[in-house]
Each structure stands twice: as C-alpha cells, then as structure tokens.
Amino acid sequence: MLHIKNLFLKYTREYYALYDVNMDVAEGESVAFIGEDESGKTSLLRVLAKLEKPTKGEVYIKDIPLERVNFKTDISAGYIPATPVFFEKKTVYENFKYILKIWGFEDSEIENKINEIIIEYAIEKLKDVKIKDLTLEEKYVLSLIRLSMRELDLLMVDNIFDHISEPIMEVVINLIKKLKSKKTTLIVASTKPEITQKLCKKNYYFKYGSVSDSLEELK
C-alpha cells in the first residue's frame, strides 16, 4: 500500500520536519505513528494526504507515485486532522450533503444515505446544528461518521486523542475500528502508546523528524 524511501521534508534551511524516512506499510495493515509533539508524525500524514510537498525522496501509494495519485479515482482515502475540517456556518446535514456530492453521489441517493447514517449513529439531535456550535469532541466524532459513508482503502487519523475525554475516547476508538475493513490500511498518530495499541499491531517511532520501527534506535 505505502512505500516511502529516503523522504525529506524541510521547512527552513536549518529545520527538517522529516529526515530520511523509510517505511513500507502493507495493504490492510494497522500502523501507529508514536512520538512527542513536533516529532514528525503530522508532517508525514500531511505528505501522504498531499497537503505538503516533500523536499526529496520517493513515496508510492498502491504503486503509484504520490504526485500522480488521484484521491477520487485511484484510492479512497480518509484523513482526520487534529483540527476538524467543516463548513463552520453550515449544519451537520448540509456538510454531509456537500461531501456526498463531492464524492459523486446522485441527488436521489444523498438524502437516503444521510438519513441512514443519522439513524445508525443516533445523531438526529445534531442534524440541524451548525458546526460552529459543536464541541471539538463532537466534531471529531462527526468527522469519523462522515467517512463511514464510503469504503476506505486508506484511513489516516492524526493525534486527536490528546483532546478527547475518557468517555468519548471509547466512542472514537470504536468508530475507527468500524471504519477499518480487511482491506483498509490504517495509520494512527498519537503521543500515547496505550491508545494506539488498541488499534494497531505495528509501531513506528518518531523523534526530531527521524523514524524507526525500533524505539532503541532513536535514543
């Protein structure tokens, strides 16, 4: 699914957000990115989501060079950033409707699809609430629910866990598990190994932009 070779991401002349990163992630694998804040976890997720352009190196997704990957036709990917992305002045329903149109659903399908999701996740009370009036936790939950409206090849979840209370944590973890099918490759970034071990079987450790599958190598 993912092949990364000699990847560098440089923000300034002196500062590398990612330094010589090498990584292979198989299709359907569940992988954790573990490290402190500003260790490079989010930078790598942003590269994979094509929100940052690498300084140099090779990245392939499903054997396609990253710069040529089309997230509409080549791969179905979902990315949950630490800052949720919605139209803040629109309602939950309006946000769901917009994304379904972007994904290519017909108007006749959209209303049924949204109603099914509202019933399945018991979010009737939130349907007509504007996003700006929701809590951060509610936005995270709705971000995950929004992704449930299609099958995913790749699901990337940034370090949202530092901002979630214990009762909502279980809701979020269960939603991520529900989104993870056998073919879905899952990448979860966190400062907390006790969280990622509930979701992932393989760890990559981040420190000062360097990455290793062994914590000892980064000490």
Q: What is the CATH number of the domain that holds 175?
A: 3.40.50.300
d(CA 182, CA 178): 11
Asked if 3 and 20 sit in the same domain, the reply is yes
Asked if 165 and 97 sit in the same domain, the reply is no
Share of the chain above pLDDT 90, in %: 83
175 backbone dihedrals φ, ψ, rounded to 5°:
-65, -40
Asked if 122 and 139 sit in the same domain, the reply is yes
pLDDT at 15 over 90: no
Contact 52, 24 (CB under 8 A): no
pLDDT at 219: 67
- pLDDT tens digits for range 138-177: 999 999 999 998 889 999 999 999 989 998 999 999 999 9
Range of the domain at 130: 84-150
Report yes or no on 110 lying in a domain: yes
Residue 219 CB neighbours (<10 A): 8
pLDDT at 218 over 80: no
- Among 150, 179, 205, where does a domain finish? 150
Asked if 197 and 183 sit in the same domain, the reply is yes
pLDDT at 103 over 90: no
- Among 101, 121, 150, where does a domain finish? 150
Asked if 163 and 143 sit in the same domain, the reply is no
pLDDT at 216 over 80: no
Report yes or no on 45 lying in a domain: yes
pLDDT at 213: 85
Asked if 69 and 102 sit in the same domain, the reply is no
Asked if 157 and 64 sit in the same domain, the reply is yes
pLDDT at 170: 93
d(CA 16, CA 108): 48
Asked if 47 and 142 sit in the same domain, the reply is no
Contact 130, 90 (CB under 8 A): yes
d(CA 123, CA 143): 13
Asked if 185 and 144 sit in the same domain, the reply is no
Asked if 166 and 190 sit in the same domain, the reply is yes
- Among 130, 150, 170, where does a domain finish? 150
pLDDT at 79: 96
Angle at 92 between CA 99 and CA 76, to 5 degrees: 30
**One-character DSSP codes across 140-189:** HHHHHHHHTTS--SEEEE-S-GGG--HHHHHHHHHHHHHH--TT-EEEEE
Full-model pTM: 0.92
Asked if 162 and 142 sit in the same domain, the reply is no
